[in-house]
Amino acid sequence: MQVSSPVLHCLATRDAVECIHMSPSTVAQKAALYRLVRREPSAACTAGAIAAWQGATAAAEEKYCRGFAQRALARVELFVGTGGAALAAVPAAAIVASELFALFASPALFGAMHAEWVDVAAERDGGTALAEDDAADERAEWFWYTTTYSIAMGLLFIASGHRLWAPIAFHVRINIGDMFEDAAAFSALPPEYTSAARIATQATPHIG
């Protein structure tokens, strides 16, 4: 999952370069998409690659964060909260409490995983380390954005009877939607934008 840039909405009234104001970690995260869009002439191949790539990413993240972490956290909380009582003897309130605990604990893990992009991205594609305050702000943005969506996916997991298809479908929709928006903006950039790292640093020329 990635932090969305509001580029598509901006393109209607401004030039493409002006609309790409991404944080350093987002620039680095989008680098692979940028290279794909700029090097693949076929829009259909680009769309297919994005769908396969983000579908696999979403499925893997949901398998871990919902299928493993959320389910395991609920079971651990239920065991601890009831002293290991047999499931048939567990009151409904204890089951609800365990589900609520896992509903918020698993998304916090999900958010923390994505906040690490700030440090990882600083080492990629010519990125540089952020000042401490800026890095903290960026980590917080990643954490709260992804944690919020992860809670929604956790709710879908519970509502579907702990089946993964619902959160995976929702996650795929978010990822692919964001990627298609950014791909549209990247494809509109002028030819001199040859690397993703330059998107955030190069002077903004006017596009006539």
Determine the pLDDT at residue 172.
94
Determine the pLDDT at residue 191.
64
Tokens linked to 132:
């401490």
Residue 7 and residue 132: Cα distance in Å, rounded?
A: 27
Tokens linked to 91:
């009151």
SS3 204: coil
Residue 47 and residue 147: Cα distance in Å, rounded?
A: 27
Determine the pLDDT at residue 183.
85
Each residue's pLDDT, cut to its tens digit, for the chain (208 residues) gives 443 444 444 544 455 555 555 666 676 677 778 888 878 888 899 999 999 999 999 999 999 999 999 999 999 999 888 887 766 678 889 899 999 999 999 999 999 988 887 776 666 544 455 555 567 787 888 899 899 999 999 999 999 999 999 999 999 999 998 888 888 877 877 666 554 445 544 433 333 2
Determine the pLDDT at residue 1.
40
SS3 125: coil
Determine the pLDDT at residue 38.
79
Sign, CA dihedral 38-42-44-49, equals: negative
Determine the pLDDT at residue 208.
29
Determine the pLDDT at residue 43.
87
Question: Half-sphere exposure of residue 77, counting CA atoms within 13 Å on the CB side?
Answer: 20
- Residue 126 identity: G
Determine the pLDDT at residue 186.
79
- Residue 176 identity: I
